[in-house]
Amino acid sequence: MRVGRRLLLAAPALLVARTAAALELDGTLTQGALVVGRGVPGARAALNGRALRVSPEGAFAFGFGRDAPGSATLELKPRQAPPETHLLHVAARQYEEQRISGLPPAQVTPPPETMERIRREQAMLNAARAHDTPGANFAGGFIWPASGRISGVYGSRRILNGEPRAPHLGLDIAAPTGTPVAAAAGGIVRLAQPDFYFTGGSIVLDHGHTVMTFYIHLSRLLVRDGQEVGQGESIGLVGATGRVTGPHLHLGLFWAGTALDAALVLPGRGQPP
C-alpha cells in the first residue's frame, strides 16, 4: 500500500474484510497524522474500538499521536451492508532534536508559586479540547494561518539549558509581532485567553468531531469564547507572550485531545506561502 495524502481502500492487501462500498481516507498514515474519512453516509465507525462521530455526509476523522503503534483497526458498519474491518499500517517517523540554551531558569523550571496557576490553566485547555460537536469544518481542509519562517516542528525532542524536556507538539511560524493570524479552518472558539503562563495569548478553535486547532503566544486576541469564525478570518496577532524566546505563532492540531502534526494537513508540504 502506498502511503499518501489520499487513499482509496480497495486493495485486498489492506483489508481484513473486503470493502463493500467506496471508502476514501484523506491523509497520511503516519505518526502525527490527522486522517479524514469520506464516503459512508449513515455508517457507524470506530478506531481501535473507539466510536467515531460520522457526519450526515459520511465524513469522519481520526488521528495518530507522536508515538502511535504501527497498526490500527478501523471498523465500519454501513446501514445496509455487512460490517467492514480495515487494518491500517501506521508509518514510524524520526524526530529532530532541538537544543535551546541561555533561557532564564524560570522558563525551564517554573517556580513553585506558579504551579497552581499552571494546573488551573491546563484544566481550562483540557476542557476546551474535550468538545465533540457535530459540525464537520475539518472536512473542508486547512489553510496556513500566517506566513513566516518555520522555527519549530512537531515531535522534536527539546533540550532546554541542557535538560531534556517534553517533545514539541506543534508547528512554530516565526513572524513579527502584530502579524495577522487567520483561522486555519472554520469553527467555534472554545477558548480565548490573553495571558496563560506557558502559552500567553491563546485560542482554541473547534472544527467538529474533536478536531481542534490551537494558536498561542498571541499579542492580541480578536475573538471571544463561543464565537463562530470562518476559514481565513482574522482571530489574533502574532506575539511573544508566555514562555518564548521570540515572536512567533505556535500552531497546534488535536484530535480527541491527542496532539497531531499540523504540517501534514497544510498546503505546500509544510512550507508556508
End-to-end CA distance of the chain: 31
Sign of CA dihedral 126, 91, 86, 79: positive
Cα–Cα distance for residue pair 92/66, rounded to 1 Å: 9
Cα–Cα distance for residue pair 254/242, rounded to 1 Å: 20
pLDDT in tens, the chain (273 residues): 233 444 444 332 333 333 445 688 999 999 999 999 987 788 899 999 999 999 999 999 999 999 999 999 999 998 888 888 999 999 999 988 776 666 666 566 778 888 999 999 999 999 999 999 999 999 999 999 999 999 999 998 877 666 767 788 999 999 999 999 999 999 999 999 999 999 999 999 999 999 999 999 999 999 999 999 999 999 999 999 998 889 999 999 999 999 999 999 999 866 777
The pLDDT value recorded for residue 103 is: 62
Place of cell 485531545: 257
pLDDT in tens, 87-130: 999 999 998 877 666 666 656 677 888 899 999 999 999 999 99
Cα–Cα distance for residue pair 66/30, rounded to 1 Å: 9
Do residues 154 and 171 make contact, with C-beta atoms less than 8 angstroms apart? yes
Cα–Cα distance for residue pair 125/79, rounded to 1 Å: 37
The pLDDT value recorded for residue 111 is: 80
CA 235, 228, 259, 110: dihedral to nearest 10 degrees?
A: 50
Q: Within a 10 A sphere around the Cβ of 219, how many other Cβ atoms?
A: 18
Alpha helices in 67-201 (DSSP H): 105-108, 115-129
The pLDDT value recorded for residue 10 is: 34
The pLDDT value recorded for residue 243 is: 85
Which residues neighbour 111 within 8 Å (Cβ) at sequence distance 6 or greater?
Answer: none
The domain 6-89 is classified under which CATH number: 1.20.1070, 2.60.40, 3.40.1130, 3.30.1490?
2.60.40
* Residue (of 206, 210, 154) closest to 185 by Cα position: 206
CA 107, 113, 117, 123: dihedral to nearest 10 degrees?
A: 90
Cα–Cα distance for residue pair 79/45, rounded to 1 Å: 11
Domain residue ranges in the chain? 6-89, 97-264
The pLDDT value recorded for residue 216 is: 98
Residue type, 224: R
The CATH class given to the 97-264 domain equals: mainly beta
The pLDDT value recorded for residue 240 is: 97
pTM above 0.85, yes or no: yes
DSSP letter string over 37-91? EES-TT-EEEETTEEE---TTS-EEEE--TT--SEEEEEEE-TTS--EEEEEEPB
CA 97, 93, 251, 227: dihedral to nearest 10 degrees?
A: -150
